[in-house]
Amino acid sequence: MSLWADRVLPGLVEKACRSTTILAERRRWIPRAHGEVLELGVGSGLNLAFYDAARVARVTGIDPAGALLARARPRAEAAPVPVALVAAPAEALPFADRAFDSAVITYSLCSVDEPARALAEVRRVLRPGGELILVEHGLAPPADAGTRRWQRWLTPLWRRAGGGCRLARDMTAILRAAGYDVDALTSGYTEGARWLSYTTQGVARPA
């Protein structure tokens, strides 16, 4: 057991993920999910309160971090929809093909070790017509070369301290390369430090 990973980091991650801006993004996007929903990197369950009981049959939340899943449990019990929490990585989902109508990723694709594999798994488990709802921070645009340099320079340290979070992933490019239609995604800076706040959000569908 690591004191940092199991005791300190979960509280810090949760605090960072509860800013007013991030809560507004959750409130905006999470109610779009419908039917059988898979949430990848569910963490401490901060999205669970925002699912729409009229649209969602069940949320299955996966995450490899037991300490974060433990924090998610009370939120799962209080959620307006049935929730199942499963310890698993996004790169190897323990679910049948075409089992879900919606997939949700918020601030987690930065942390998975193999995003291409994770997105291939999402494609596999989504039904035809299914959608991926995404809110994710990542690499600043080419015009902001200074911020990009910072992001690349900081990543090795940030990744070690921040539970695997990479600052310099081009989220739109990763999704496009994984075969998703990214036309409905938008990107821009939200509040706070530029190296952490360039955010891509919206709905991506397997093309």
**Binding segment (CB under 6 A) for ligand SAM, from list 60-68, 93-101, 124-132, 144-152:** 60-68
Q: Residue 65, interface with ligand SAM (CB under 6 A)? A: yes
* Site mask for ligand SAM (CB under 6 A), range 78-107, x = bound: -----------xxx--------------xx
What residue has token string 């799962």? Answer: 76
**Which residues lie closer than 8 Å to 71 by C-beta, 6 or more apart?**
10, 14, 43, 44, 45
SS3 202: strand
Q: Least CB distance from residue 148 to ligand SAM, whole Å?
A: 21
Q: Considering the complex, state which of residue 119 and residue 140 has its C-beta at the smaller distance from ligand SAM.
A: 119
* DSSP result, 30-50: GGG--EEEEEET-TT-TTGGG
Q: How many C-beta atoms surround the C-beta of residue 174 within 10 A?
A: 20
Of the candidate residues 38, 40, 140, 178, the single one contacting ligand SAM (CB under 6 A): 40
**Binding segment (CB under 6 A) for ligand SAM, from list 77-85, 94-102, 111-119, 189-197:** 111-119
Q: Least CB distance from residue 169 to ligand SAM, whole Å?
A: 13
Provide the Cα torsion 187, 190, 193, 196; round to 10°: -50
CA-wise closest residue to 42 among 98, 107, 124: 107
Q: Considering the complex, state which of residue 154 and residue 183 has its C-beta at the smaller distance from ligand SAM.
A: 154
**Binding segment (CB under 6 A) for ligand SAM, from list 41-49, 52-60, 94-102, 194-202:** 41-49
Q: Considering the complex, state which of residue 92 and residue 173 has its C-beta at the smaller distance from ligand SAM.
A: 92
HSE-up (13 A, CA, CB side) for residue 56: 25
Structure tokens belonging to residue 85: 């929490």
Binding site for ligand SAM (CB under 6 A): 13, 17, 40-43, 46-47, 63-65, 68, 89-91, 106-108, 111-113, 163-164
